[in-house]
Structure 1
Amino acid sequence: MTDVIVIGGGVAGLSAAAALSETVKVTLLEREKQTGYHSSGRSAALFEENYGKPTTRALNRASREAHAALGVLSPRGLMIVAQDHEADQFSADILDMNLSEISMDDARALVPILSPAITRAAHFDGAQDIDTDLLMQTWIKQIRANGGTVQTGAEVSKITKTSAGWRVEIGSDVLTAPVIVNAAGAWADQIAQIAGIAPLGLTPLRRSMARLAAPGGHDVRHWPMIFGPGESWYAKPDAGALLVSPAEEDPVAPMDAWPDDMVLAEGLARYQDAVTGEVTRPIATWAGLRTFAPDRSLVLGRDTADPSFIWCAGQGGYGVQSSPAAGQHIADVVAERTPAIGAEVAAQLSPARFSR
């Protein structure tokens, strides 16, 4: 028997399990053969505090110190660019994200391939890359150092509520624990239903990605992450190449996602409109899932019908940067401690906000 079973080995489950392991015995179950296989391992992870809903921004702010202490941040910067006909959306974006407009000379000094059609730019130097792999591996080491278990290839087939808590079946193996943390990402509603808990209406949304060779032989290592207005596309330096995404949010069933070729082509065309030179054939393409609750805020806390079932879900595209504070909050919930993020934010993240 263990104290807490965490279902899901992405960044959400690992952060929660690591924080929990400081005080209780934790077993984390991941259905795939490796942790972070789905959304966490396919994220263009960026730390930018002013990104997401107010509750997400609160989690981001609360996560900065932990990210820095773990040594997973490195300088990147963020820039939004726009053409004349996109001026209204550009203005809304820089107001929302508290960015500073810069001259086009300064913008092209940062990214020399910007098209003459780009007439507006705004920049924030404080956005930082997150080393997602290092982050997850650090948490795995922490879990194990504290006596916890990380079990991969462990697909949950049955969950039963008993007088002692929860009975979780993984093939022929059985685990029991008083508490379950549901951190199953796109499958979180399915895990809830297996456990006899009402789903929240979580929606997985596909996002496609292409890796392009560095344009024109440029050294892109120090370029900022670039967004089109309204996040209509983005490009991010990565290992000497560029990751380019149409930033789509197409509802799909929980799955091992693959890119939609037409959507990806449309996104690459929007990127092409913003830069000089021809977009080359992608080196590689892939897709991931961003799973949102109906109000697009994370869901962190006890289920209203059964408080021994704890939600850690709905991370959307913000799971990596918000994970230290989100994981700590799950540990606070389990221990019935005063939440480090504050009672008001905790209430706004709780599943109790949904009427079921």
Structure 2
Amino acid sequence: MRKVDYLIVGAGIAGLSAAARLARHGSVVVCEGEDAPGVHASGRSAAFAHFDMDAALVRALTAASLPFLEQPAAKVHPALFIALEGQEAALERVLAGYREWSPSVEHISAGDARALVPVLRTGDSGVVAALLDRNGRRLDAHALLELSRRELVGAGGEIAVKAPVTAVRHDAGRWIVDTPGESFSARTIVNAAGAWVDAVARMAGVAPIGIRPLRRTVITFDVPGGMDVSRWPFTKTVGPGFYIEPEGRGRLLACPMDEGPSPPCDAQPEDEDVALAAWRVEQATTLAIPRLASKWAGLRSFTPDRLPVAGYDRNAPGFFWLAGQGGFGLQTSPAMARAAESAAAGTPWPDALRAVGVTADDLSPARLA
């Protein structure tokens, strides 16, 4: 049995970025059940950083993270938020939340939106107004994961792949974690297992926090007529609808923003959700989608209040929760990793989080007890 200071369960962006920070303070091993990091939610994200989030806490975490999201993992790319007929009030709410952190956001007309994305429908049942953020960030999920992996390994940490956790127990003040190939004795276990965090907690005899995995579907398709869409903005409805994003010169990615309840699993797209994605795009644009280039699904995991968690369980010494980053895990990962470092290692609260008004209590799992 190998002794470590921190044993992280899960090598998605949450676990891997936190592990890279914690490796500055002690020995770290990340246990990942798959054969590579980021196989599930992190590797299946459309990965765009913006402030169209309902929760003020998530917007603040995004603001704290943006200075750390730089090339090649993040590239400036405009974002367009469209209001379909009946979504005008939602557009104003998005504008109010946006201006706190990105004052340069512009309120533009439906005609201006169509000039940016020529296939948008306007008028009845179409786009009536929009917001334009010229400073959005298109993220490369795999590059972000690789940056954290390199930082972790450079600091002496390790990643054990094909190492699903099979048993967890507390003994003599330490956590004993078994995997098929090796067992570990850890001072701290960081539960960053995404959709599986409650399952890991139950294995350890710790009360779950009520995580909810929700399936989200993505399709890609080629734009007819050889149209160059590479400069189109990331385009998202401010209410129920869809978002689209360029995937090269002649291909678009689309998502119906679905949230299908699911058990923790290797999520697969369901036909009904795939059809919904195509239908919503066709209703709001002049595009026709006769065939798909690809389709996939991933699980976005939320706590009951849909806010992230980073902190020790008050009833289980040394058991640290890092969970509930939903669909915003990539864009908030730098801030959440620094929060986890401070809360787990006992270092001063990060200046980047203090500057945006985020406290340790905001992220504590105690609120979910």
Please tell me the TM-score bracket, short chain as reference.
Answer: over 0.9
Distance 1:50 1:273 in 2: 22
Q: 2:362 aligns with which of 328, 344, 348?
A: 348
Q: Who is 1:296 aligned against?
A: 306
Map of 1:150-229 to 2, 5 A cutoff?
150-229=159-238
Q: Does 1:119 align with 2:128?
A: yes
Q: Does 1:104 align with 2:110?
A: yes
Residues 221 and 253 of structure 2 are in contact (CA less than 8 Å); yes or no, is this contact kept in structure 1?
yes
Distance 1:52 1:307 in 2: 33
Letter in 2 for 1:301: G
Q: Who is 2:30 aligned against?
A: 28
* SS of equivalent residue, structure 2 residue 359: helix
Q: Who is 1:8 aligned against?
A: 10
Instruction: Label 1:96 to 1:65 Cα distance change in 2 as closer, same or farther (>3 A).
Output: closer
Residues 41 and 298 of structure 2 are in contact (CA less than 8 Å); yes or no, is this contact kept in structure 1?
yes
> Deviation at 1:146?
1.1
Distance 1:34 1:122 in 2: 38
> Deviation at 1:82?
3.2
Distance 1:5 1:58 in 2: 28
Q: Does 1:66 align with 2:68?
A: yes
Q: Who is 2:19 aligned against?
A: 17
Q: Who is 2:239 aligned against?
A: 230
* SS of equivalent residue, structure 1 residue 115: coil
Q: Who is 2:48 aligned against?
A: 46
The farther-off stretch of 174-183 and 72-81 is: 72-81
> Deviation at 1:280?
2.8
* SS of equivalent residue, structure 2 residue 162: coil
Unaligned runs of 5+ in 2: 100-104
Percent same amino acid at aligned positions?
35
Distance 1:3 1:174 in 2: 14
Superimposed CA distance per residue, residues 144-175 of structure 1 (whole angstroms, 9 cap, x where no aligned partner): 11111111100100011010401110025211
Distance 2:292 2:275 in 1: 10
* SS of equivalent residue, structure 1 residue 247: coil
* SS of equivalent residue, structure 2 residue 4: coil
Q: Does 1:134 align with 2:133?
A: no
* SS of equivalent residue, structure 1 residue 2: strand
Q: Who is 1:307 aligned against?
A: 317
The farther-off stretch of 103-112 and 149-158 is: 103-112
Distance 1:135 1:114 in 2: 32
Unaligned runs of 5+ in 1: none
Distance 1:293 1:103 in 2: 37
Distance 1:313 1:277 in 2: 38
Distance 1:104 1:142 in 2: 45
Map of 1:323-342 to 2, 5 A cutoff?
323-340=333-350, 341-342=353-354
Superimposed CA distance per residue, residues 207-233 of structure 1 (whole angstroms, 9 cap, x where no aligned partner): 011011134322111111111231421
Letter in 1 for 2:132: H
Letter in 1 for 2:134: D
> Deviation at 1:44?
0.7
> Deviation at 1:269?
1.1
Superimposed CA distance per residue, residues 237-286 of structure 1 (whole angstroms, 9 cap, x where no aligned partner): 12332110110111110010011211221232121111113123111111
Residues 213 and 280 of structure 1 are in contact (CA less than 8 Å); yes or no, is this contact kept in structure 2?
no
Instruction: Label 1:248 to 1:197 Cα distance change in 2 as closer, same or farther (>3 A).
Output: same
Residues 164 and 180 of structure 2 are in contact (CA less than 8 Å); yes or no, is this contact kept in structure 1?
yes
Q: Who is 1:257 aligned against?
A: 267
- TM-score where L is the length of structure 1: 0.94
- TM-score where L is the length of structure 2: 0.91
Q: CA RMSD for the aligned pairs?
A: 1.7
The farther-off stretch of 50-59 and 233-242 is: 50-59
Residues 82 and 90 of structure 1 are in contact (CA less than 8 Å); yes or no, is this contact kept in structure 2?
yes
Distance 2:92 2:68 in 1: 32
Letter in 2 for 1:302: Y
Instruction: Label 1:175 to 1:297 Cα distance change in 2 as closer, same or farther (>3 A).
Output: same
> Deviation at 1:65?
1.7
Distance 2:234 2:10 in 1: 29
Distance 2:287 2:158 in 1: 50
Residues 218 and 277 of structure 2 are in contact (CA less than 8 Å); yes or no, is this contact kept in structure 1?
no
Q: Who is 1:86 aligned against?
A: 87
